[in-house]
Structure 1
């Protein structure tokens, strides 16, 4: 089975064309060698996939007939991704929650409440000297 089709079947990529593009960009390696999308994958191959700034590593256990349900994925692959990489993914999730691009519009009501909470909990803003008192 082709490596791009395999990664699509075990749900590492949403579409097969995205998996193919990842292979062409050099984000997919088999046995630490960059591969083309057409390279065949066999059981016991070790694949590393660079996706969303995290490198996932997996071992091919078996080849599926077609795309699988999420519950059946573990039958066909063994995830050997180091815990450091998964922790890095968690940090990326937290950093994206609070980042707003400039010019994306007014803050939402939730954003305003979060900003107010920061100002209420920070003593620096409440204990600042006032120019009128002097």
Structure 2
């Protein structure tokens, strides 16, 4: 698929079409909440997007930095993404998100107290402490 300009290269539509967000409504909501920036400035969902701009979007725990290479006509497959964007997100950002998800697994429910000896052994086996 080639980068054919769409009629309205809106930011929310671009974010959806290059699979940053699952739905266009979700992309628009994130833009309205101020978690998307284009070239360092907060951007609204209806802002036009152009080739060469750098888009920074907060997706869950990761702040993704993407450079616009092309504007697809509609949503594209994952294999075609390199034709439309370059991922400039530092590897440390993905590692931080991975660490946060691991910490979430280790968290205990409030009021459960300390782990029992059996639970500590199971955690040790799971994470290779012993």
| Both proteins in one fold, TM over 0.5 | yes
The 4+ residue runs of structure 1 with deviation greater than 6 A are: none
Partners of 1:120 and 1:44 in 2: CA distance: 48
CA distances 1:59-115 after superposition (whole Å, capped 9, x unpaired) = 000011100111111210000011221111111221222335459xxxxxxxx9x82
Match of residue 121, structure 2, among 117, 123, 130: 117
Tell me the C-alpha RMSD between the 2 structures: 2.7
User: Number of residue pairs matched?
Assistant: 115
**Are residue 61 (structure 1) and residue 95 (structure 2) matched?**
no
- TM-score, with length taken from structure 2: 0.77
Whose Rg is larger? 1
Greater helix content:
1
Partners of 1:14 and 1:2 in 2: CA distance: 16
Q: Larger deviation: 78-87 or 27-36?
A: 78-87
Q: Which has the higher contact order (CA 8 A, sep 6+)?
A: 2
